[in-house]
Every structure is written in structure tokens, then in C-alpha cells.
Structure 1
Amino acid sequence: MREAERARENRLEIVKAHSHGQITKRDMFRWGIYGAGGLIAAKHGLSPFVRSAYAAVPTGTPRSPLFGAQKFHERLHRPLVQPRIPLVSAAGSDDVLWMGPDGRPLSEMPGRRLSYHDEWSKKGPGWERLKNPLTYRGPVEGRPPGEFFAHQRWTNNPTSSNRDLFPKVGYLMSLGQCEAGTRFCGEMPEQDMNALWSFGVRQPGHAGSSGGSRLGYGMPCLIKARYGEPMLTRIYNDLPVDRTQNKGFGRNEITTHFHNAHNGAESDGACNAYHFPGTFYDYHWALTLARRDLPSHRAFSDPLYQKKASGPTDDGGLMQVEGDYREIQSSMWFHDHRFFFTAENVHKGNFALCNVYSGPDRACTAVRDGVNLLLPSGDATAWGNQDFDVNLAVSNPAFDKDGQMFFDVFDTDGFLGDVIAINGSYYPYMEVLPRRYRFRILNAAMARFYKFAIAVNKSKKFSSGTTVPFWFIANDGNLVVNPIQLTALEEQGNGERYDIVVDFSAFADGDSLYLVNLLKQTDGRKPDKTLSMRDALRGDIEDPCVGAVMEFRVRKGGIKSVDDPTRTYTGLEVDPSADFSASDWKSGLKKLTTQIPVVAPVRERVIEFGRSGSGDSRDPKTGLCIPDCGEHEAFPYSIKVNGQSAHTLNANRISALVPKPGEVEHWTFVNGGGGWDHPIHLHFEEGITLDRGGGSIGPTEKLARKDVWRLRPSGKVRIQVCFGEFGGAYVSHCHNTAHEDFAMVLRYQLLTPDPNDPDFAKTGSRPHWQISNTPIPSPDGVTFRVPEVLPEARPDYRTTRT
């Protein structure tokens, strides 16, 4: 084990030299650390003596030191709710002002449709005020200039049909170094400020520092959003200017992807528009329902279809919004999407949560309006209660010998940690009342899959190890039609979200239950196998992440409210939330939502994800890649479209053109290898899961709306998707973030109505009827490059069936 630790130190020295720019991965290729197919020697530590250590833990390195930490001694942290800042329109313009509680503007630059980069580029009077305040290079706003990166449907014109998407509320956030005292539990060491980079609250007018700002919460933050209340989220890059100040991994250039919100491409966070320390990026998260422009797609057969397309108001009413209520989203998250560094940055803590509330899913059990589903939540406020509605972000860290966050950039299969953290807590516990709770479970790991179940730990009535049933209600933030009773979840891939309702009413004061991971995984490529509950609870020497990961402690009363600090629950309160075991739910008389029909597609596309070992992202003549393609001699992962040549990520290459909003397409995702599993993520729109090409498909997935699909080894998934409302450049990729960073990403372009189309003015499409140029960010500002459109990207290209 000492030899293995020395091997890890050797690797970390190389990682450090690479992150400091002293060596490139091309150098490592020449030295034999990388091969044409990716990793060779480094898997086992740059030492011939450490193969025994590889079998000990999935990281291929010594076990993470625990410093005496015990499981289920740390209380579950609840996400830090971000403060809402009112926005008002500036007189005579479409700008918005950030308002303080005294009714006066805050010391923040107004939000605006066009980037401040435009004004900075003109070098007009006062332009120097728009310089990056830390480097004095480039503009203060990282959003690229021009109409293609102007916020879509941003207007305060009272005659515009898009006025209701003008931002009403703002959030000021920092992506910074973790605050002092950040620990995974009380026994573990405090994390170095650059070991964890995470979101946190930013005070208006904060000056920033070239050495970084310790504003990161160290654990997930939470935005409470609602339909009918568009928001402007300003995210500052408060990381150190010096790239070398990263504790060995992570890139200080960031871009934030709101996974999987229905937003314009300029606010999607995955169009190569990353920004640098000292700058901010304004994201217009419009909170609009999909099919806003397509009334014919709505469920007119439901007499309440208009009321269900809504957001909750503060007085218990509803804000009507345009769109299809069947497309309502709920459990969301956002995270870094810097191409080639996503895995490092997200593992480092660069992610946060967002719950989107609607009329049907308002998280308040006191409102009975015929629309509210009465899902477990609370009643302290008219919407967004959390007492019985709990976010669980499950990450998979690993630690070096000093207890600091560790990541192996050499592992192209996908990095597996050997520890479970939930909301940043090491194997936490949570006290619960004997009633129903909703849990929003996010797989925030880089490569590890999970399969969760609930089992009795100790009880006066039930035997230890007894499996506890629960109700499945949402997949990737999309309500399923009917609640589904399960005793174990499906495998949960990276980025997938499963919402469940657990009823603790059968348990007595002092009983406890476990959330259990049944899935063994010792390689980043795919899980090994599902274990029985009995075997999982015993643990597995090869995978320390198998078994109980969280404890629920049942208490009759004495639990303080999260929503109202003055309130303590006695346990005698009636549970007003929906009881899915009641006859009206079991008979189907009551439903969570309505099924979207399957229709004949306008076109089909077949997209194959594979491991080709031959990347072609560089210019064959110059050997250069613009934009940045990383420093790899060859990429192990690639994508084929419609049977054509395999390609690795080049953000300047378009693999699919979507010519017209509202057209229904069927896409088939194919796994080209049997030794791998790939959780494939589609940005911007959800797809209805149709079939698995003859493979089994469970009730939680069949015809369900999703945005991440596990392909399974040698498997395939066919989905129905309809694009609309916004335009620009988006991507689809594997959400095993190592596979993503090693180029398993494809760019697609959504085109909106052209100026001669009657829908042009109605949709506010501006330039997006054309293909958008690719931004090339630098510390001195953004330039652009004309993209290459591959032949198979054309919508009339003949489809090759698989």
C-alpha cells in the first residue's frame, strides 16, 4: 500500500505538471503513458508493483483515509436555498435592475439582452469600466457578443407575445473556492480552498480577488424556481486567475449548463462559451413550458389543461403560462460543461440543484384547487415547501492521504470514487416523521451507476433487511402518468434523477431504515452486477460503495421545520399528502399527468456511440483544432450519425441540423460496444422513450419523458423528440463525464423560422434561422469561427437503419 501511495504521488505530480501547462498529453503519449486507444500504464499507478492495490478499491489507488469517521453520524445537510432578488425594468430600455430590500437598485450592472462584450468591443466612451476587474484583459461579461448570443425572447414591449418571458427575479451566484471549515464530516480534515470549487451566494458589488474568493458553499445550493417567473441568473467566476492554483485538477474556466431546462442556446451553457476568472455570465432561464408555439400539441381532452399549464402564486393561486402541461419539469440541476474538463470540475463540486414548481407540482399541501397533486412537501408557504420534499444529490468522492479531494485524470474509462456523499455529507442520517416523504434523487457521480432500494435496519415490527416498497413518481424531473410501486429502482446513470415517495407511517418511534445501493461497480465502463439486499447489506470488499448509504431515523415528534424555524412537528399532525395506495389512484381515476402520444416522425436519425480509438477532431493539414480540442493525441470515444464516419468532439462541427420547430423526429441511440454502458444525455428537449430495440423496458421508462438514457452494453434506445421555441447550438453526449471529456459529444443546431416565415416575428427568432458561429473564448475576449456542417447533418440525408 505504501508503494501504491508513492505511485499515486507520481501520478499526481504528472497531473500537476499538466494542469500547470508544463507538459501536454502529447508528451505523455510519447512517453507511453497514453496509447492510441487511451490509457496504458497509468491505470495501475506508473509502477509495476501496485496491481494488488487496484483490486482493493475502484480508484486503482489506496483506500480513502477516513480519519475515524463513522457512517450515519453526520446529519444530512439540506441544500442552501439561494436568495431571490427582485428585478425591475430600467426606464426607456429592456435592461433590468437588481433591487434591494429598500427598493433601491443594488450595486450590480443591469441585466441586458445583448452582452456587455458588444459595448466593450466598440471602445466607446467609458468602455474601460467594462474591463475584467481582475486581469484588465477582455470584457467583464463572458457571454459572447452579437445577436446569436443575445437573450432570446427577452423583451419588455407590451405588444409582444414574448413579454411574459422578460425576467422577473434574479439570482447572484458565485462559483468560487470552498468556504473555510468545509468538511465531508466532523472527523475528516477541512478541505483546502482549491480542493473543492462550488456555488454560493454572492453579495452585490463583491470586488473579487485574483487569488479567488471563498464563496463556495462546499455543498449543493438550491434555486427554487416556478413557471411564470422567468429569471436572470448571474454567475461570477470567482476562481483563482492562476490556472496552477487548482490543487492538482480542475480548470478555472467555466460554463454552466442548466440540465435539462428549456432555454435558448446562449443560456444552455454548452456552446463553447466558457468564461474566465473575474467575469460573469448572465443566463436567461425563461421558465417557459415546451410547445409554447404549438397549441395543436396540447392535451385539449383534459378540461383542466389550461389551469395545469401554470406556476404557483404567493397567495395560493395560479399563474397561467403558454405551453403543454404534459411537459412540466420538476427536479433539475445545473453544472459545469467546460469541454474536456467537465469531469474534473463537476467532481470538484461545480454543481447545484434547481426545483421547478408548477400548478400541479407546487410543493404545498394546503392548496386544494383541483390541479395541485398534493405531493409530500409542507404547508408553511404557498409553494416550494421542503419539510417533506427532500433533495438527495449522491456524489462519489475519493480522498488522498491527507484527506483532500482526489481525481485521476488518467482514467479514461470513468473515475470511480470509493466513498458516498449525499448533499456533501459522508453517509448521513435524516430524522423523519411516520408519514409520507418525497425524495428527489440525483446521481451526481462522474462514472458510478446506482441501484437504490430501502431496507429496514431495526424495527419493533419488521425484521432487519426487510425491503420497503415505495412509489416512483418522476423520471429525470418529468412526472410519470401513474405512480408506480417498486421495491428497487432501476439502475440510475450519471445525471439521471428519480423522484420517489416513501411512506414511513408503518414504523414506530426509534425504528430506522437504510437507503441501500445494490449495484456493484469496480470499473468506470459499466456496473458489475446487482446484489441481493442481503449481500449488499453485508458489504463488498471490492466495492466499498455497495450497501447502506444513508439512514432514516423515525421519530414520533420533535422534528423542527425546515420551512418555518419557529415550528416543531409533534407527530400528531394529519398527513394531507396524496395516498397512492387509495382506490382512486390505484384504479387510475387519478393520474399524475397525461401521456404524450406517439406519432409518425418527419425523419429518423441513428446515432451510434462507440470506442474507435481514432480521433479526427484536428485539421488534417495543420494538425490544429479550433476551438480547443484538448491535448490528446487520439480520443478513445466517438459518435457516428446515420452510419457515416465516426467523429470525436469538435465544437465547430455540426452533426445534426434540425430545420424547423415542431417537427417530430425519432432518434435511435446505439451502443457500439458490449463492454461499456453509456448514459446518453440530450440537451434542451426531453424525449419519449419508445423502445429498446427488443430489449426489456420497465414501467418507469416505457413512454416516459427523459433526458438521460442508459444504453446498456450493446443496447439501443429509440426516442421521440420534438424541438421548438428556441434556436442555436446544443449538444448530445455521454454523461459518464470521462467519456464526455474524451470527446463523446455531438453538436446539433436548431433552426427557427426565417424572416419570410409568418412565424418569424411571433417566435422572436432573430438570427437563429441561420447556423450560429462557434465562439472562441480567450482572456482578451471572444472571437468566432464559421462551423463545418457534416453531410449527414442535413435533414434530407438518407438515414441508415440499425
Structure 2
Amino acid sequence: MQEAERARENRLEIVKAHSHGQITKRDMFRWGIYGAGGLIAAKHGLSPFVRSAYAAVPTGTPASPLFGAQKFHEPLNRAIVQPRIPLVSAAGSDDVLWMGPDGRPLSEMPGRRLSYHDEWSKKGANWQRLSNPLTGRGPCEGRPPGEFFAHQRWSKDPTSSNRDLFPKVGYLMSLGQCQSNTKYCNEMPAQNANALWSFGVRQPGWRGSSSGSRLGYGAPCLIKARYGEPMLTRIYNDLPVDRTQNGGFGRNEISTHFHNAHNGAESDGACNAYHFPGTFYDYHWGTTLARRDMPSIRAFNDPLYQKKASGPDNGDGLVLVEGDYRELQGTLWFHDHRFFFTAENVHKGNFALCNYYSGPDRANTDVRDGVNLLLPSGNATAWGNQDFDVNLAVTNPAFDKDGQLFFDIFDTDGFLGDMLCVNGTYYPYMEVLPRRYRFRILNAAMSRFIKLAVAVNNSRTFSSGTTVPFWFIANDGNLLVNPLQLTEMEEQGVAERYDIVIDFSAFADGDSLYLVNLLQQTSGMKPDGAVSMSNALKGVAADPCVGPIMEFRVRRGGIKSVDDPSRTYTGLEVDPSADFTNSDWKSGLKTLTTQIPVVAPVRERVVEFNRSGGGDSRDPKTGQCIPECGTIESFPWAVRINGQAAHSLNANRIGALVPKPGEVEHWTLINGGTGWDHPIHLHFEEGITLDRGGGSIGPTEKLVRKDVWRLRPGGTVRFQVRFGEFGGSYVNHCHNTVHEDFAMLLRYQLLTPAPNDPDFVKTGSRPHWQISNTPIPSPDGVTFRVPEVLPEAQPTFKPPTKA
């Protein structure tokens, strides 16, 4: 154990010296630290990835010290709901003002359609006020200048078709160092300021500090959003200005991707527009229902189709919105997307949760309007109740000998921790009433897949180890047509979200159940396979993450409401939520949503994800990456489009052009090898899963809308997608974030109607009928580069005729 710990310490010292410029790659090659292949050498006493009796857990390092911590001794952290700030339009402009509870504007710069970078670039009288307040270099806002990065569909004109996307509510967020005394459990040490970087609330007018601000939560925060109420989310970078103050890993440049909301590219967080400490970035998250521009394709056979395309108001009514209710979203999240550093930053805690509420999914079981699905939630507020609607974010950390979060930046296969935490808590428990609960489960690990099931721990009626059935209702935030009763979930790849309903009514006071991970994984490349429930409950020596990860403790009363702190449940309350065992649900008379039809595509694309044998992210002449990629020397992961040459990530290279909103495409994703698995994520739009190239496809994804697909080793997935509403630069990539950073990602460009098209004005005049230039951020402001359009990007590809 001491040898393995020394190996890890030596490795981290080398990483630190290299990142600080104290040693070079040539030095390391001469000393034998780097091999001929450009990767750090595996030497006993240096590399912790030398397998031995001293380091046999999945991290390849000594097991994380527990400091006496016991499982299921800590209550579950509930996601921390973020405060909503009203916005009002400013007189004489299209700006919005942040308003305080006293009805006066807060000390925050107004939100505006164009970035403050535009005004700062003019070097006028306000230049100093508009500069980065911590460094005096560059503008205060990290959003790039110009119309391509202006907020799309932003208008307060009451005659405009985009009026309904003008922001009405705001959020002030900090991405900063963790707050003092942030712990995974009481027995473990507090995390150092730069061990954990996470989101937290920011007070209006907070200036920040060049050494960082400790505003980040230890538990994930939650934004509760609703259709019909567009948001402006201002995210400040409150990390240290000195990038070496990172606790050994992580980059202090951030770009927040709202996965997978329907937003303009300038607010998607993956167009290479990252920003620096001291600056903010305004994201216009429009809570837009897809197909708002295509009323002709809506589900007219449903007499309630117009009412279902809606959000909840503050009473028991609805706010109707434009779009197709079949594309309503629910369980979402947002996280860092700084190219080449996503894995490090998200592992440090740079992610948060967001629930979208709608007329059908309003999270209030008192409203019976013929539209509300009555999913388990509560009734204390008009919408967004959480008493029986619970977000669970599963992470996979590892810790060094001092109990600080650990990550190895030289691992290109995938990083595995040796424990599973839920909402930032070490193996928590949750007290539940004997009624139905909805759980929104996010896999927020870097490289670990999970496969969850529910089993009895102790019960007066049921034997220990008995599997407990549950209802599967949503995949990646998209409702299934019909709820499915299961006893275990499908494998859940990184970033996939599974919504389930568990009925605890059969259990007595004092009974307990486990949420169990059945999937063994000892390599970041792919899972080893599932184990039986009995073996999982016993534990698997090769993988400590197999087994129970959370305990449910059934109580007949005495549980306090999270929606109304003055209320305590007695356990005698009637459960008004939907009972899926009811004959109307079993017969299909009641459904969660309506199936979107499969239609003939305008074009097809084939995208293969594989090992590249080196990659071409660096410019062969200058040795530079776009964006700057630090000390990364090898890019083993790449993407091949339509059978052309494979490429690794270059943010200035376009691999696919989507020429017109509204056209249907079929994409086929191929895993180019059998030795690994990839969870592939498509930004901005969901696809309807059609088939798996002859492989089995279960009812949880057959014809279901998704945004992440597990390819399986050597596997193939085909889906239908229809792009629309917005334009700009988006990406498609592997969400094993280590694969993404080394560098399995392609850029695609969505084009909007040109000025000579009748839809140019009707859908909002925008410049995105042209290809957008690539922003190149720096502490002194953003410059642009003309992108390279690869030959395979042209939308003319037709797949070969099958024999």
C-alpha cells in the first residue's frame, strides 16, 4: 500500500511540474518517463497503473481511505433549489433588469441581447467598468461579440413571434471553490478549496477574488424551470486566476453546457466559448418546446394537443406555448464543457441539475385538468413539488491518502473511482413514506456505467434480497409512451437519465430497501458485465462499486416536507399520484405521451467512433490545438464521418452541415471496436431510437427519444432526428468524458433560413444562414478564426445500398 501511494504521489508531482513548465516532454523522454508512443511510462514506483497486490482496485491506486466512515449512516442530501430572480424589461432598450424583493433593480449589470464584449471592444468611456474586475484584462463578459453570439429569439416586441422567449426569470450562479467544511460524510475530511469546484448561488454585486471564492455547494444545485418562462442564467467564473491553483487537476476556464435543452448555440456551452476567472457568461435558456416553427406536424389526432403544449401557471391553470407536446423534456442537467478538460472539471463537481415542468408533468398531484399526469410529487406549491419527486445524481469519486478528491490526468482509457456517491453523499439513506415516489437518476460519473435495481434489505413480510419491481417512465428526460414495469434497469451510460417510480406501500414501518448497482467494471474502457443480485449484495472484491449504493428506510409518518417546512406527514395521507397498475394504464387508455412517427429521411449520416492511432488535434506545423490543450500529448480517440478520414477533436473543424431546419435525418452511430464502449451524446436535439443494427433493443429505448446512446462493444445504433428552431455550432461526442477529452468529438453546424427565404423573417432574422467563425478566447478578449469545413460535412451523403 505504501509503494502504491508513493507511485501516485510521484505521478502527481510529475503532472504538476509539467503543467507548471518546470520540466518538458523532452526531459521526461530522456529520463524514461515517457515512452516512444508519447504516453507516460508504466514503471513500478512511478505509475499507479502497474497492477499489483498493492493497487488492485479500479483506480489502479490504493483504495480511498474512509476514516471510519460507514455506509448508510448519512441522510441523503437533497438537491439545493436555486432562488429565482424576477426580470423586467428596461425602458428604451431590449435589456432586462434583475429585480429585488423590494421591487428595485439589483446591483447587477442588465442582461442584453449582445455581449458586453461588443461595447468593451469600442474602448469608450465605459471601457474600465466593462473590463474583467479581477484582472483588468479583457471584457467582463466571456460571451463572444457579434451577432453570431447574440441571444437568438430575444425580443420584447409584442408583435414578434419570438416575444414568448424573452427572459422572464433569472438565476445568478457561481462556479467556484467549495464552501468551507464541505464533506462527503461526517467522518471524512473537509475538501480543500481547490479539491472541489462546484456551483452555488451568487449574491448580486459580489466582486469575487483573484484567489477564488468559496461559493460552491457540496451537493448538486437544482434549477426548477417551467415551459412558458424563459430564463437568463448568469454564471460567474469564481475560480482562482492562477491556473496552477487547481489541487492537481482541473482547468479554471469554464463553458457551461445545458444538457440537452433546446437552446441557441451561443447558449449551448459547446461552441468553444469558454471564459476566465472574474468574468460571467449570460446563457439564454428559453425553455423552448421543439417544433414551434412547424405547426403542421403536431399531433392533431389528440384533442388535447394544444393544452399539452404548455407550462404550469402559479395557480391550477396552464400557459400555452408553441411547439409539439411530444417533445416535452423533464430531467436535465448542466455541466462544464471546456474542450480537453471536461472530465477533470466535471469530476471536480462542475455540474448541476435542472427539471423542466410542463402541463402534463407539472409536479402537483392536486391539479386534475385532464392534462396533468399526476406523477408522484406533492401539492404544497402550484408546480415543481419535490416531496415525492427526488433527483439522484450518482458520482464515482476516489480520494488520496489525505481524503482529497483524486483524478489521474494521464489516463486515456477512462477514469474509475472506487465508490459511488449520491448527491455528494457517501452511500446515503433516505426516509420514505409507504407510497409512490419518483426518482430522477443521473449517471454523473466520468467513465463508469451502472445498472441499478431495488432489493429488500430487512422486512417483516419479504425475504432479504427479494427484487422489488418499479415503473420506468422516462429516458434522458423524455417520457415513454407507456410506463414499463421492470425489476432491473438497462445499463446506464455516463450522462444518461432514467426516471423511475417506486411504490413503497407494501412495506411496513421499519422495513428497508437498497438501491443496488449490479454492474461490475474494472476498466474505464467498458463494463465487465452484470452480476446477480445475491452476489451484488455480498460484494465483489474486484469492484467495490458493485452492491448497494443507497438505502430507503420506510416510515409510517413523521417525515417533514421539503416543499413546506411547516408540514410533517403523518403517513395517513391518501396517495393521489398515478397508479400504473390501474386498468386504464394497463390497457393503454392512459399514456404518458404520444409516439412521434418514423418518416423517410431527407439524408442519412454514418458516424464511427474508434481509436485513431494518434489523432490530429494538434496543428502539424505549430503544434497548437484549438482550443489550447495544455500538456496533452496523445489523442487516441477519433471520429470518422461517412467513411472519410478519422479526425480527433479540433474545434475549428466542421464535420457535418445541417442545411435547413425541419428536415428529417437518420444517423447511424458505429462503435469501431469491441474492446470498449461509448455513450454517445448529440447536443441540442433528441433522436428517436430506431434499431441497433440487428442487436437487441429493449422497450426502454425502442422508438424512445434520447440524447445519449450506449453503442455497446462493436455495436451500432440508428436514430431519427429533426433539427430546428435555432442555428449555430453544436457538437456530437462520446460522454465517457475521458474519451471526449482525448479527443472523441465532432462539430456540426446548423444553418437557418437565408435572407432570400420567406422563413428568414418569420423565424427571426439571424446570421446563422452562414457558417459561424470559431471563437478563440483569451484573457484579453475573443478573436475569431475561419473554420475548416471537411468534405464529409456536405449534406449529400447517401448510405450504400444494402445487399
TM-score (norm 1): 0.98
Residues 305-339 of structure 1: CA distance to partner in whole angstroms, max 9, x if unpaired? 00000000011110000000000000000000000
For the 8 Å contact 1:255–1:269, the answer to whether it is kept is yes
Residues 745-767 of structure 1: CA distance to partner in whole angstroms, max 9, x if unpaired? 00000000000100001111410
For the 8 Å contact 1:53–1:62, the answer to whether it is kept is no
How much identity, in percent, do the aligned residues show?
84
Deviates more, 1:639-648 or 1:622-631: 622-631
State the partner residue of 1:20.
20
Which amino acid counterpart does residue 436 of structure 1 have in structure 2? R
- Within a 5 Å distance, the mapping from 1:350-389 to structure 2 comes to 350-389=350-389
For the 8 Å contact 2:453–2:488, the answer to whether it is kept is yes
Structure-2 separation of matches of 1:249 and 1:300:
53
Which amino acid counterpart does residue 254 of structure 1 have in structure 2? I
1:319 and 2:319 correspond: yes
State the partner residue of 1:681.
681
- Within a 5 Å distance, the mapping from 1:42-441 to structure 2 comes to 42=42, 46=46, 51-53=51-53, 56-441=56-441
Following TM superposition, by how much is the alpha carbon of 1:27 offset from its aligned partner in structure 2, in angstroms?
A: 6.0
Structure-2 separation of matches of 1:31 and 1:633:
17
State the partner residue of 1:777.
777
Which amino acid counterpart does residue 15 of structure 2 have in structure 1? V
For the 8 Å contact 1:16–1:248, the answer to whether it is kept is yes
Cα distance change on mapping 1:26 and 1:94 into 2, 3 Å = farther
Cα distance change on mapping 1:295 and 1:53 into 2, 3 Å = farther
State the partner residue of 1:6.
6
Residues 282-310 of structure 1: CA distance to partner in whole angstroms, max 9, x if unpaired? 00000010001011221111000000000
Structure-2 separation of matches of 1:25 and 1:595:
55
Which amino acid counterpart does residue 485 of structure 2 have in structure 1? Q
- Which ranges in structure 2 are unaligned for 5 or more consecutive residues? none
Structure-2 separation of matches of 1:195 and 1:133:
25
1:543 and 2:550 correspond: no
Report the number of matched residues. Answer: 802
For residue 550 of structure 1, give the secondary structure of its aligned residue in structure 2.
strand
Cα distance change on mapping 1:27 and 1:760 into 2, 3 Å = farther
For residue 781 of structure 1, give the secondary structure of its aligned residue in structure 2.
coil
1:690 and 2:683 correspond: no
- Within a 5 Å distance, the mapping from 1:527-538 to structure 2 comes to 527-538=527-538
Cα distance change on mapping 1:591 and 1:168 into 2, 3 Å = same
TM-score (norm 2): 0.98
State the partner residue of 1:467.
467
State the partner residue of 2:564.
564
Residues 6-44 of structure 1: CA distance to partner in whole angstroms, max 9, x if unpaired? 000001112222343434667656765555767453497
Structure-2 separation of matches of 1:44 and 1:223:
47
Which amino acid counterpart does residue 107 of structure 1 have in structure 2? S
For the 8 Å contact 1:250–1:344, the answer to whether it is kept is yes
Following TM superposition, by how much is the alpha carbon of 1:392 offset from its aligned partner in structure 2, in angstroms?
A: 0.2
For the 8 Å contact 2:649–2:744, the answer to whether it is kept is yes
Structure-1 separation of matches of 2:736 and 2:727:
26
Cα distance change on mapping 1:178 and 1:233 into 2, 3 Å = same
For the 8 Å contact 1:483–1:592, the answer to whether it is kept is yes
For residue 130 of structure 1, give the secondary structure of its aligned residue in structure 2.
coil
Following TM superposition, by how much is the alpha carbon of 1:218 offset from its aligned partner in structure 2, in angstroms?
A: 1.8
Following TM superposition, by how much is the alpha carbon of 1:470 offset from its aligned partner in structure 2, in angstroms?
A: 0.1
Structure-1 separation of matches of 2:761 and 2:466:
60
Which amino acid counterpart does residue 73 of structure 2 have in structure 1? H
For the 8 Å contact 1:398–1:405, the answer to whether it is kept is yes
Cα distance change on mapping 1:48 and 1:482 into 2, 3 Å = closer
For residue 584 of structure 2, give the secondary structure of its aligned residue in structure 1.
helix
For the 8 Å contact 1:791–1:797, the answer to whether it is kept is no
State the partner residue of 1:511.
511
For the 8 Å contact 1:73–1:428, the answer to whether it is kept is yes
State the partner residue of 1:482.
482
Structure-2 separation of matches of 1:752 and 1:36:
47
Which amino acid counterpart does residue 740 of structure 1 have in structure 2? E
For the 8 Å contact 1:175–1:197, the answer to whether it is kept is yes
Following TM superposition, by how much is the alpha carbon of 1:628 offset from its aligned partner in structure 2, in angstroms?
A: 2.4
Structure-1 separation of matches of 2:588 and 2:518:
31
Cα distance change on mapping 1:270 and 1:700 into 2, 3 Å = same
Structure-1 separation of matches of 2:679 and 2:78:
27
Deviates more, 1:112-121 or 1:21-30: 21-30
Residues 232-269 of structure 1: CA distance to partner in whole angstroms, max 9, x if unpaired? 00000000001111111100000000000000000000
Cα distance change on mapping 1:99 and 1:47 into 2, 3 Å = closer
Which amino acid counterpart does residue 563 of structure 1 have in structure 2? D
Residues 706-754 of structure 1: CA distance to partner in whole angstroms, max 9, x if unpaired? 0000000000100000000000000000000000000100000000000
For the 8 Å contact 1:37–1:635, the answer to whether it is kept is no
For the 8 Å contact 1:449–1:491, the answer to whether it is kept is yes
Following TM superposition, by how much is the alpha carbon of 1:52 offset from its aligned partner in structure 2, in angstroms?
A: 1.2
State the partner residue of 1:728.
728
Residues 72-112 of structure 1: CA distance to partner in whole angstroms, max 9, x if unpaired? 00000001100000000000100000000000000000000
For the 8 Å contact 1:38–1:412, the answer to whether it is kept is no
State the partner residue of 1:615.
615
State the partner residue of 1:706.
706
Structure-2 separation of matches of 1:194 and 1:4:
24
Which amino acid counterpart does residue 335 of structure 1 have in structure 2? H
Following TM superposition, by how much is the alpha carbon of 1:420 offset from its aligned partner in structure 2, in angstroms?
A: 1.1
Deviates more, 1:54-63 or 1:731-740: 54-63
For residue 613 of structure 1, give the secondary structure of its aligned residue in structure 2.
coil
Structure-2 separation of matches of 1:743 and 1:512:
44
State the partner residue of 2:583.
583
Structure-2 separation of matches of 1:670 and 1:271:
24
- Which ranges in structure 1 are unaligned for 5 or more consecutive residues? none
Structure-2 separation of matches of 1:32 and 1:739:
26
State the partner residue of 2:750.
750
Following TM superposition, by how much is the alpha carbon of 1:207 offset from its aligned partner in structure 2, in angstroms?
A: 1.1
- Within a 5 Å distance, the mapping from 1:651-666 to structure 2 comes to 651-666=651-666
Residues 588-618 of structure 1: CA distance to partner in whole angstroms, max 9, x if unpaired? 0100000000000000000000012121223
For the 8 Å contact 1:56–1:541, the answer to whether it is kept is no
State the partner residue of 1:645.
645
Which amino acid counterpart does residue 78 of structure 2 have in structure 1? R
Cα distance change on mapping 1:39 and 1:574 into 2, 3 Å = farther
Cα distance change on mapping 1:38 and 1:394 into 2, 3 Å = farther
For residue 236 of structure 2, give the secondary structure of its aligned residue in structure 1.
strand
Structure-1 separation of matches of 2:795 and 2:54:
47
